[in-house]
Structure 1
Amino acid sequence: MNATDTATRKKPDLKQYLDPTGVQVLKKRLIAGQITPSVFKQTLTRQMVSQFFLEYTHPVDHALEKMAGILKRERSLIRQAAKNRKEAVDADSETGLSQPFPLPSSKKME
């Protein structure tokens, strides 16, 4: 990675990882005076970060998953082609068409 890659990479928006139910519960506790605003903020931050890392996958993992999918599809195609080839050979041997027709002789009939 070079400097431009790291400069153009965006920080993840952790707000999208907020649990709406958890936020409502924390708000009620804050309004009731059971927790302080700093505890409210720390709890939300912890919740967002932990949820982010539960769903986070490294970019290399994405590439590896994609490569695994490609390889799986290629192996499936190879197996299918081999199966079709085997079926074609079996069908030819059953009908007797595997041997070519005799070629006409090059000599003229007299």
Structure 2
Amino acid sequence: MSIIDRTIAAIPLDLDVFHNGMLLVRDPTVVQTLVRAHRSWWNGGEDPAAHPTASQLPRYLRPVLDCLLAGTPDEAAAAHLNVSLRTYSRRVGDLLTALGVSSRFQAGAAAVRRGWA
């Protein structure tokens, strides 16, 4: 999100691909609300995108879950996702945290219960 002169907010329509366009907001009340929200997140050191709702799987973890459910070995999954083995392992940890479990088996069961699988 970009705020220009505290009168216009530019919000990307797709957070993964910025060239898909921007939404321009000119309503002063909405712009001021976005400024306050940004200030609050900045001061609190929070990433607003890092806290998905319990019913949502973060978009970057979907391919990781798919690889786990398919039983793909870590090395093959990392190569398939075009990430390093260390990054893949970290994302598996992020997935386990998002599901609130401590093992890959529990992650599969929790994903099925939530309808993510």
Q: Mark yes or no: TM-score above 0.5.
A: no
Give the helix-richer structure, 1 or 2: 1
In which range does the TM-score fall when normalised by the shorter chain?
under 0.3
Higher Rg of the two aligned structures: 1
Q: Which has the higher contact order (CA 8 A, sep 6+)?
A: 1
Tell me the TM-score normalised to structure 2 length: 0.22
Give the strand-richer structure, 1 or 2: 2
